[in-house]
Amino acid sequence: MMEELFSWVLERKDYEKLQLNDYFYSRPEIIVPVKTIMKDLDWSRYRVLSTYELLSNDIKQLEPTAKHAFNYDDELKAVVVDHDVRLDRQMLQRRYLDASIVWQYLGEVVDESIASLEDFAQRHLTSIPVVRAAKQIVDEHLAQLNLRISKDNRVIGSETTIRSFYFGIVRSVKGLLMISATSDRFDQQVDQIFRKVTQKLSGRMRQTNILKLKLTISIWFLRIRKNNFATAEDVTYVFDDKNPIDEDDFHQAILDVVAELIENENMRKVEARFLTAAIYATGVVPGNHARVFDEETQQVLKGMNDSLKQSYQEFFKVALTTTQAGELDDMLFATHLSVLFFPYARFVARKNHQIKVDSLPVQSIFAEFAMQRIISDHGLPLKVAEAGLFNDYLVNFTYLIPTELLPVVNVVFDFADNHGMAKLLYQRIGNIQGVNINICDYLSDQTDIYVSDQILTWNQEVPAFLWNELPSDYAFSQFLKRVVEITRDQL
């Protein structure tokens, strides 16, 4: 599995600052002891404190008048986190990417805009040895995808793999690469293609989908304008010839766009197929559109959905309802299409697997079970499945799995005075996804937790949460943590 993008693109210290920033925001606590940070990140005390100082200085430079989100308390030997203050992570990320020679090289090499290492070094105010080192880092990571950097600074290998990998990069950073050759003219051309494509999409597009679609078009256009075309051997999927495509069809709209850019008819057809499938794989076109593909592709996609349905029945001893099965097909169409035809688009994503497993134990175990079934039934490589399937399976099945199939956690609510608060907490708990909480009025042998404004029992085996006022986010997170632990124990 390729390392997470920022770990090799950024300078080490910048990557660690970004890690620490994300760590603070991922935790519910207000006070985070240095010892806890040391244990969780496996860092020395010096590394924690020095990185904290560097991060604090960077944030002050970016937002000099803003309230500080993190403050070190020497008496507590801890960092105090103000969760009401949110720094724009993209701003911090952009600062570190702009300072990375590896990032600059990664962007320019795909655009084939590097005349020489000397020219690149001069333009970026650095030395040739530094650029050579950056090239070597990029080359080593691309080699994991059977790609390489040529002597004249071009990416060599499967064109679909190159695009798939760069789709993943722009998706991860949520913005286009640092490409020196891009200009107002390039942006205008991308906007023109975007407008023509979206004319065939019904409904108003969300801002996130607009960005995702523009980035996909940008990478595609970036490559074809330098005559880097996909081949028929790479683009094996076709669209169903038995159902002629009319002028209103989405694929026809793509064909019309591509016809204005590529003269060769065979290349035009291949690129139109590629771009149509790439857009479907982003998920910006909602629903299941497997029917527009050839019969072979349809059968593969159907087979993957059937494997998931069988996994569900084996695991939970009950079949998906017709409604659930339909939702599943719609929600995972783009995921499965991406894994099949653009498998490297997820290789650069950040991984937070352990937190997901800890907070959603039943769903995580099932997602792993279903993923292994897909690997076995359809021969997907493990690294492709882990990068492209696990998270989507976890999220979508957390939504689909009915609460009654999860282990029951019996929670007694009994307040002497704060009856209004009890009702608010009841509503809040009722909206929690991924656990099965049964709220009871009376203590019994089946009670797992009780919540009250006074002690109800001296039985230490029944965890108590004593709240005389609305709990803080941290206090409520501790309650949820205990619910999850009981759920996991009951497995």
pLDDT-wise least confident of 38-42, 57-61, 171-175: 171-175
Query: What is the enclosing helix (H) or strand (E) of 465?
Result: strand 464-466
pLDDT tens, 198-208?
887 877 888 88
pLDDT tens-digit series, residues 451-465: 998 888 888 888 899
pLDDT in tens, 80-119: 988 777 777 788 888 999 899 999 999 999 989 899 999 9
What count of residues does the chain have? Answer: 491
| 279-313 confidence digits (pLDDT tens) | 999 999 888 889 889 899 999 999 999 999 999 99
Split at pLDDT 50, 70, 90, the class of 129 is very high
pLDDT in tens, 21-33: 989 888 777 889 9
Separation between Cα atoms, residue 294 and residue 301, nearest integer Å? 11
Q: Are 390 and 367 in contact (CB under 8 A)?
A: yes
Q: Which residues pair with 238 in a beta bridge?
A: none
The better pLDDT of the pair 459, 217 is held by: 217
Q: Return the percentage of the chain with pLDDT > 70, whole number.
A: 93
Give the closest residue to 274 by CA, choosing from 255, 295, 301. Answer: 255
Distance CA 402, CA 433 (A): 10
Domain residue limits, the chain = 5-88, 290-401, 404-490
Q: Binning pLDDT at 50, 70 and 90, where does residue 42 land? A: very high
User: What pLDDT is stored for residue 66 in this prediction?
Assistant: 79
Mean pLDDT, rounded, of the chain: 87
Instruction: Give the residue-averaged pLDDT of 376-400.
Output: 89
pLDDT band at 1 (very low <50, low <70, confident <90, very high): very low
Query: What confidence score (pLDDT) does residue 426 get?
Result: 84
Residue 421 pLDDT exceeds 50? yes
pLDDT for 247 equals 36
Same fold across 5-88 and 404-490: no
The domain 5-88 having CATH identifier 1.10.10: the answer here is yes
CB atoms within 10 A of CB 335: 20
What pLDDT was estimated at residue 245? 46
The rounded radius of gyration (Å) of the Cα atoms in the chain is: 26
> 70-73 and 78-81: which strand pairing?
antiparallel
Instruction: Confirm if 197 and 217 have CB atoms less than 8 A apart.
Output: yes
Check residue 356 and give its pLDDT: 62
* pLDDT tens-place string over residues 136-170: 999 999 998 999 999 999 999 999 999 999 988 88
More confident site: 381 or 224: 224
User: Which pLDDT score, from 0 to 100, does residue 457 have?
Assistant: 85
Per CATH, which fold does 404-490 belong to?
Rossmann fold (3.40.50)
pLDDT digits 0-9 by tens, 348-370: 554 555 556 677 888 988 999 99
